[in-house]
Amino acid sequence: MNGLLTLLVLLPLAGFLVNGLFGRRLGPAFVNIVGVGLPLAAFAVAVWAWRILEAGGGEPLIETVFTWALVGEHVFEVSFYLDRLSAVMALIVTGVGALIHIYSIGYMKGDESYARYFAYLNLFLFFMLLLVLGRSLLVLFVGWEGVGLASYLLIGFWFQDVDKARAGRKAFITNRVGDAGFLLGMFLIFTTVGTLEMDQINQAFAGGLIPVGIATAAGILLFIGATGKSAQIPLHVWLPDAMAGPTPVSALIHAATMVTAGIYLVARMSGVYLEAPAASTLIAVIGLLTAFLAATIALVQTDIKKVLAYSTISQLGFMFLALGVGAYAVAVFHLFTHAFFKAALFLGAGSVIHALNGEQDIRRMGGLAHRIPWTSGTFLVATAAIAGLPPLAGFFSKDEILWFALASGQGGSFWFWLLGSVTAFLTALYMFRLYWLVFLGRSRMAPEVAAHVHESPWPMTSVLVVLALFSVVAGWFALPQYLAPLLPAPDLRFAWPILHWGLIVFAVLVAVAGLVAAGVLYGDGGRRAEAIERRFARLYRVLAGKYFVDEIYERLLQRPWRWISDRVFLRLGDRILLDGSLHGLAALARRGAGVLVRIETGSLHWYAWMILLGLVAVLIWVWRYV
Amino acid sequence: MDDTTFLLALSGMLFALGLVGVIVRRNLLVTLMFLELMLNGVILSLVVFTQLLGAEAGAVLVLLVFVVAAAEIAIAVPILLLLVRAGHTLDPGAYAGLKG
């Protein structure tokens, strides 16, 4: 059916407009129907569109909405493009999105800005769908900026709190740095290929006529954009602070969907990266470093959401590792499984925070497993999934990533695999540490908090159950094979099935080792872990300080920039040059007027004489010179 | 002296006469009349040039100037009436305070 994709994109926009304009007056029941109903409808439409796509054998659906601009012979169209990759993304976005909307009914209940919250959330869905369905890089970029805006609005949702408002600003500004790279990459591609339609760009680069230098430059510039949105080193600093937003927002935007936009971008532009091995290697190295360093930071964080935030950064690093070694479909596979278990983890964390009346410090939790069994059970499933225990979702996707990190003919290396495995071990360790400290052991809660612990209402727990279910089964879909016609797997350096099986067994052992290590270190209430912290106090300070990246940026970037802003732009530029020249002009006019005002006497005859004189002067001038 | 030169000279004299009147007379009503005289001098020259160059647009312009002149007088006379009602004199010097 024609117009289906347009409908899909416009449904959440309608939700934003209705709830944003009238939601406050019409009350929470109405807000629920619109704010949750429209994302559910969008999910239904996405499924429908996907069925049509499959009925056509995977032939992409293209829908042109209107012509945006005609510049010379270049046509810029707003058109939507649904192939298997964008279908997977659209299904994740609308599916997980709709679930999180339902969860929000319970979580945000009674908030004074209830309608505004759902309006923003729908706005986010709209821009995210624009991002994944846009055929042209231009439309993708509009969505890209739009989700950044929605993210900013939702991080600073409780803007009365200055810290939260500041966190929103930090996210926005950090993303701008990446966006500059994205824009430059777009310019470069446009001047080279002459179009921004992504399928045509891939074809043009696959033709092999474009120099490697340009492909590398374009690839790196686009990747800079991806590092901003997907929180990779060196632009990862905004994501931990983004946890200031409501927890369902962290689950939807800062774990499941928006931060994976960078993965989607690189996978979508895989034609460029296939021609740019150097850029791909850079992606793999940055991704792996991010995965490893973020995992080490997650080991010592004490805020439940911060642990999950660094875990997200680390998992995104894994996805970039897969992209860097040419296993694009595998990266999307991990994106797919990660969306479920990370959403489940965040929503579980939200349920814990809800149960403890706002407490986020895991040092003041413990022993919650029996008090909130639904939350605890689903959290355990999702933890096992992210740790990579078979047969849960994370096991399959992470194993594929590690296999290609070793065996890919496009830059696979033993060192990638080794550091990746260490990171997988750390992942299991910090996740089970989190589970142990929150749900097991003795309670460390304040008595008045412990007295009020309660399981969350059904909109929240039912969503947790659904997501936990998907955390189990999501890995059973053979997504890389499904996407293979679009994103073929890289050639292997060696095809020894025995090695692959050996690696799988090893990966399981690594995950179990992480579980056991967490049990040993934190099983006794964390006394052994504290002993280790004291033993390696310096290392602990570095990790707890997040490698002091924020402090380094403060010294190297913010202070010099603030100095330049103050001295050069404010005092010299604004006050002396701009204000000075304007004040000078005003003073000149005032002084001139002081002289001229004497001519104005009020006598009509005097004026008539002056006019006569003027006329005569003009006439003489005309006779002389014209 | 042909007709054109005569008419142009006449228009110039009308204009000069009006100007002298505006400058020397100390009665606002008479000043307005002299203003009209100046305007008529200009219009006369306009008509002459229109005839001379055969430009029909000039004839239209003449009518336009008439309309503007009528409108101007229609505003000026009521203002004058109000002034006189307030100040009881037609001498413009008495209203020098209006310069603001």
Lowest-confidence pick of A90-94, A208-212, A233-237, A602-606: A602-606
CB A447 within 8 A of CB A358: no
Alpha-carbon separation of residue A325 from A383, A405, A483, A498 (angstroms) = 27, 6, 17, 21
Closest CB from B23, B93, B96 relative to A609: B23
Is residue A557 exposed (0-12), middle (13-18) or buried (19+ Cβ within 10 Å)? exposed
How many Å apart are CA A270 and CA A326, to the nearest integer? 8
Alpha-carbon separation of residue A286 from A169, A323, A558 (angstroms) = 25, 11, 24
pTM for this predicted structure: 0.80
What pLDDT score does A442 carry?
82
- Whether pLDDT at A138 is above 60: yes
> Between residues A245 and A601, which one has the greater pLDDT?
A245
Cβ contacts of A474 within 8 Å, gap of 6 or more: A336, A337, A340, A341, A393
Tell me how many degrees the CA angle A19-A24-A26 measures, rounded to the nearest 5: 85
Q: Could A602 and B97 be called an inter-chain contact, meaning their C-beta atoms sit closer than 8 Å?
A: yes
Q: How far is B100 from chain A (nearest CA, A)?
A: 8
How many Å apart are CA A458 and CA A149, to the nearest integer? 31
How many Å apart are CA A569 and CA A577, to the nearest integer? 10
Q: Could B99 and A608 be called an inter-chain contact, meaning their C-beta atoms sit closer than 8 Å?
A: no
Within an 8 Å CB–CB cutoff, is residue A603 touching chain B?
A: yes
How many Å apart are CA A492 and CA A327, to the nearest integer? 11
Across the range A229-253, mean pLDDT stands at 90
CB A467 within 8 A of CB A382: yes
Q: How far is A609 from chain B (nearest CA, A)?
A: 7
What pLDDT score does A362 carry?
86
Nearest to residue A100, comparing CAs of A244, A253, A259, A239? A253
CB A308 within 8 A of CB A360: no
What pLDDT score does B100 carry?
62
- Whether pLDDT at A1 is above 70: no
Nearest to residue A268, comparing CAs of A178, A136, A91, A405? A136
Alpha-carbon separation of residue A140 from A135, A196, A264 (angstroms) = 7, 10, 11
Cβ contacts of A401 within 8 Å, gap of 6 or more: A318, A319, A321, A322, A327, A330, A331, A334, A420
State the distance between the two ends of chain B, measured CA to CA, in whole angstroms. Answer: 50
Residue whose entry in the numeric block shows the structure tokens 């927002």: A249
Residue whose entry in the numeric block shows the structure tokens 């994501």: A239
- Whether pLDDT at A279 is above 60: yes
User: Which tokens go with A396?
Assistant: 């399959």
Q: How far is A588 from chain B (nearest CA, A)?
A: 22
Q: Could B98 and A605 be called an inter-chain contact, meaning their C-beta atoms sit closer than 8 Å?
A: no
Q: Could A604 and B19 be called an inter-chain contact, meaning their C-beta atoms sit closer than 8 Å?
A: no
ipTM exceeds 0.85, yes or no? no
Alpha-carbon separation of residue A256 from A309, A394, A448, A518, B66 (angstroms) = 11, 14, 34, 26, 78
Provide the 10 A C-beta neighbour count for residue B67: 9
Q: Could A602 and B23 be called an inter-chain contact, meaning their C-beta atoms sit closer than 8 Å?
A: no
- Whether pLDDT at B35 is above 80: yes
Average pLDDT value over all residues in chain A: 90
How many Å apart are CA A67 and CA A179, to the nearest integer? 24
Across the range B66-92, mean pLDDT stands at 89
What pLDDT score does A289 carry?
94
How many Å apart are CA A53 and CA A561, to the nearest integer? 51
- Whether pLDDT at A522 is above 90: no
Cβ contacts of B49 within 8 Å, gap of 6 or more: B55, B58
Q: How far is B17 from chain A (nearest CA, A)?
A: 13
How many Å apart are CA A436 and CA A428, to the nearest integer? 12
Span A551-597, pLDDT tens digits = 888 888 889 999 999 998 888 888 889 999 999 999 999 999 988 88
Q: Could A603 and B22 be called an inter-chain contact, meaning their C-beta atoms sit closer than 8 Å?
A: no
What pLDDT score does A324 carry?
92
Confidence of residue A17 (pLDDT cuts 50, 70, 90): very high
**Backbone φ and ψ of B63, nearest 5°:** -60, -40
Across the range A326-350, mean pLDDT stands at 93
Confidence of residue A450 (pLDDT cuts 50, 70, 90): confident
Cβ contacts of A534 within 8 Å, gap of 6 or more: none
Mutation test of the interface with chain B: which of A597, A604, A609, choosing the one with the most B Cβ atoms within 10 A? Answer: A604
* B19 contact residues in A (CB cutoff 8 A): 608, 612
How many Å apart are CA A76 and CA A200, to the nearest integer? 13
Q: Could A612 and B95 be called an inter-chain contact, meaning their C-beta atoms sit closer than 8 Å?
A: no
Within an 8 Å CB–CB cutoff, is residue A598 touching chain B?
A: no
What pLDDT score does A186 carry?
93
What pLDDT score does A268 carry?
92
- Whether pLDDT at A139 is above 90: yes
Q: How far is A604 from chain B (nearest CA, A)?
A: 6
Q: Which amino acid is at A476?
A: W
Q: How far is B22 from chain A (nearest CA, A)?
A: 7
Q: Could A608 and B98 be called an inter-chain contact, meaning their C-beta atoms sit closer than 8 Å?
A: no
Q: Which amino acid is at A123?
A: L
Within an 8 Å CB–CB cutoff, is residue A604 touching chain B?
A: yes
Residue whose entry in the numeric block shows the structure tokens 């995104």: A316
- Whether pLDDT at A51 is above 70: yes
Across the range A247-251, mean pLDDT stands at 91
Residue whose entry in the numeric block shows the structure tokens 């929150």: A438
How many Å apart are CA A64 and CA A6, to the nearest integer? 9
Is residue A88 exposed (0-12), middle (13-18) or buried (19+ Cβ within 10 Å)? buried
Q: Is A74 helix (H, G, I), strand (E, B) or coil?
A: strand
Closest CB from B19, B22, B93 relative to A603: B93
Interface A:B, Cβ pairs < 8 A:
24
Within an 8 Å CB–CB cutoff, is residue A596 touching chain B?
A: no
Give domain limits for chain B. Answer: 3-92
CB A467 within 8 A of CB A344: yes
Q: With left for phi above 0 and alpha for psi between -120 and 50, is residue A13 left, alpha or beta?
A: alpha
Q: Could B96 and A609 be called an inter-chain contact, meaning their C-beta atoms sit closer than 8 Å?
A: no
Confidence of residue B1 (pLDDT cuts 50, 70, 90): low
* A597 contact residues in B (CB cutoff 8 A): none
Span A484-493, pLDDT tens digits = 888 888 888 8
* B23 contact residues in A (CB cutoff 8 A): 605, 608-609, 612
Nearest to residue A245, comparing CAs of A234, A260, A255, A236? A255
Closest CB from B24, B31, B96 relative to A603: B96
How many Å apart are CA A143 and CA A123, to the nearest integer? 10
- Kindly report the three-state secondary structure assignment for every residue of A481-547: HHHCCCCCCCCECCCCHHHHHHHHHHHHHHHHHHHHHHHHHHCCCCHHHHHHHHHCHHHHHHHHCHH
CB A290 within 8 A of CB A317: yes
Cβ contacts of A86 within 8 Å, gap of 6 or more: A132, A133, A268
* Right CATH for B3-92 from 1.10.3720.10, 1.10.287.3510, 3.40.640.10, 1.20.1050.40: 1.10.287.3510
Q: Could A612 and B97 be called an inter-chain contact, meaning their C-beta atoms sit closer than 8 Å?
A: no
- Angle at which helix A393-407 crosses helix A497-522, to 10 degrees, equals 120
Adjacent-strand bridge partners of A67: A77
Span A180-193, pLDDT tens digits = 999 999 999 999 88
Q: Could B99 and A602 be called an inter-chain contact, meaning their C-beta atoms sit closer than 8 Å?
A: yes
Is residue A29 exposed (0-12), middle (13-18) or buried (19+ Cβ within 10 Å)? exposed
Q: Closest-CA residue in chain A for B23? A: A605
* B93 contact residues in A (CB cutoff 8 A): 603-604
Q: How far is A626 from chain B (nearest CA, A)?
A: 20
Mutation test of the interface with chain B: which of A597, A601, A605, choosing the one with the most B Cβ atoms within 10 A? Answer: A605
How many Å apart are CA A65 and CA A50, to the nearest integer? 19
* A609 contact residues in B (CB cutoff 8 A): 23
- Whether pLDDT at A42 is above 90: yes
Span A358-408, pLDDT tens digits = 888 888 888 888 888 999 999 999 999 999 888 899 899 999 999 999 988
Closest CB from B22, B93, B96 relative to A608: B22
